[in-house]
Chain A
Amino acid sequence: MCGIVGLFLKDRALEPKLGEMLTDMLVTMTDRGPDSAGIAIYGRPQKGKAKLTVQSADPDADFAGLDAALSAAIGGPVAIAVKDTHAVLTVPSARLDSARSAVRTLRPSVRIMSAGEEIEIYKEVGLPKEVAARFGLRGMSGTHGIGHTRMATESAVTTMGAHPFSTGPDQCLVHNGSLSNHNSVRRELRRAGMTFETENDTEVAAAFLTHKMDEGENLGQAMAATLTDLDGFFTFVVGTRNGFGVVRDPIACKPAVMAETDQYVAFGSEYRALVNLPGIEEARVWEPEPATVYFWER
């Protein structure tokens, strides 16, 4: 049970302010989710490079010398930017998969939050305001981003239990609601070769979309498949490299508000999250229809 915020910028001039706008929206949703918070930000890609965002419970020990060790392991240059308990490792894009495996070997207790050419994911236990401050979210720039504040329902309040979940390159998903058949779907996905870090229902939804896209479906088709294959109550907001998607289950009890102008498309669980956006007074504000996939792509 949660609050979701999302922002997809159409106007490049707003990109430097993405982090600031998302942080304000996220903090407004604190009441809906005081347990933990997370944010996925898609920044401008660097040619030939890809990023891994990792998290550690003991950052001083784990991040010391990690760039050099990883560079040696993959045979390519590695840059590291440490932010509190997280670190962004920039590697050559061709080496992304091997970098991912190498990190697991070099630092087994480190968790991989995201992988991709544009995405970075930061998530921690604590109030949204504190989580944002720890990672300097306010200062980040990018093309689109999704944030989530969590009130844990059935699984534990842990860092990994926080959203967004990322189960594929440059992909992420956040969820407000409660799935009812996720245990069965998880078993099916495991048989198909997917691995899971948590018992969380949302991770199952993220993995489901990744699996569908791995099988050749596009994001719109994968999101439409959630309507037939997943049961329960859900509003999903999904991020991919170029795009931003929203889908609500057919019963559509969990709230969802969207706003669109020439400059952006925004999502919030409550209208309150959108009130400070530029031009909101003149924006087209609407609620997504149930069982309908919405998608914006650049």
Chain B
Amino acid sequence: MSDFPHTPPRFSWTFSPEVNAEIRRAAASGIYDIRGGGSKRRLPHFDDLLFLGASISRYPLEGYREKCATDVWLGTRFAKTPIHLDIPITIAGMSFGSLSGPAKEALGRGASAAGTSTTTGDGGMTEEERGHSKTLVYQYLPSRYGMNPDDLRRADAIEVVVGQGAKPGGGGMLLGQKISDRVAEMRNLPKGIDQRSACRHPDWTGPDDLEIKILELREITDWEKPIYVKIGGARPYYDTALAVKAGADVVVLDGMQGGTAATQDVFIEHVGMPTLACLPQAVKALQDLGMHRKVQLIISGGIRSGADVAKALALGADAVSIGTAALIALGDNDPALEEEYRKLGTTAGAYDDWHEGRDPAGITTQDPALYSRFDPVLGGRRLKNYLKVMTLEAQTIARACGKSHLHNLEPEDLCALTIEAAAMAGVPLAGTDWIPGRAGF
């Protein structure tokens, strides 16, 4: 009997080891899993698009000598002082509180050196960030932590946050371990508690009331600053149109790959849409209203390289924003710290329990013993380098497509590798003229 070969062990795809571990964890702890970062799933993304470089029908530009410009104006619709950036890559909103002071300083230094902006997060504006960021966008969130008119007036732009890609429909969350003395004071909360944040703004709901709120913010700042409206990608066509109707100067759209400091894993992985699916919808809304390029569009959520920047611009964005990528450039999840990650029960590249505040890189922590390891000057240089590389990469691609400005990239410069990407991006499958979903297919 024992001579028969027996069936080898076989895992279930549905009940995979990861899924089972999560079920056991839930049963043991009685709480949902909370983590940082954006969606970790493989999703249709910019990788599934390719550029059609110059050949005989199109001619390329020479590198270096023949200029490919990269600058962008943001906020030209209503603001007295719109923002001019040297590169179309900005740093997304991340709070002091979720990030350490030195990390925020590094972001400010690097962004300023590269000629772009940073954004405050769900905790208010710090002196360090205002001091180190040449151009600073000030977020206006449901929590209103630290909100005050003086900071509104010292900001270069104001970003009304309706939602973010990691959790469209959700609020901010900062668990007790990161509410240090300084964070508690800035947010007016007792130290050490779990901060609950509201998911809707306290004093307006809906685009008709948003219009009145934007009017108030403009009045308080004497109509000087561009007003951005940030949305998590869910119904981007309608949301973009409504943001325009409510009076936004700039729309910031964040797809589900967009990161967060901490929220429920189910939110990150199961609510929202991939950035690739969101972007063309928002562009179409602007075009249908005759507002493309008049109300600028910034896209974020999984931007990693100059190729992503170029593809986002080709699909119609005016600029992109990076969050996760900026942190990795600063040194988050660096394999050099592998031994420490092992002690935390994880490994470099997978560490996402930032809410516990034990980041060995000193970036997503409020523990002075840890954040003192992080050198903000070096961090700033690394970020600047990364931003410059992305810009050069985007220029290389754009020149190869015959463009003298990144903004002249267009959807017709692209083809898709998969049916999903073709349908979502609205570009043809490579080697065909088929765009799924158009013309009755």
Contact = CB atoms under 8 A, between A and B. Distances in A.
SS of A interface (majority) = loop
A13 to B, nearest CB: 34
Nearest to A176: B208
Contact of B206 (A1, A35, A152): A1
Nearest to A31: B211
A153 interface: yes
A2 B208 contact: yes
A153 B200 CA distance: 17
A281 interface: no
SS of B interface (majority) = helix
A186 B207 CA distance: 25
A104 to B, nearest CB: 29
Contacts of A268: none
Contact of A153 (B209, B212, B242): B242
B245 interface: yes
A33 B212 CA distance: 12
A1 B235 contact: no
**A: contact size bracket:** 20 to 34
B217 to A, nearest CB: 15
Contact of B235 (A33, A151, A154): A154
A239 interface: no
A255 to B, nearest CB: 7
A253 B242 contact: no
A31 B242 CA distance: 13
A178 interface: yes
B205 interface: yes
B238 interface: yes
Contacts of A151: 207-208, 242, 245
Given A32-B211, A34-B245, A151-B245, A253 B206 contact: yes
17 contacts: A1-B207, A1-B242, A2-B208, A31-B208, A31-B212, A34-B245, A151-B208, A151-B242, A153-B207, A153-B238, A177-B206, A233-B205, A253-B200, A253-B205, A254-B205, A254-B206, A269-B208
Interface of A: 1-3, 31-35, 151-154, 176-178, 233, 253-255, 269
Interface of B: 200, 205-209, 211-212, 235, 238, 241-242, 245
Given A1-B208, A153-B238, A254-B205, 8 more contacts: A1-B207, A32-B208, A33-B208, A151-B207, A153-B207, A233-B205, A233-B206, A269-B208
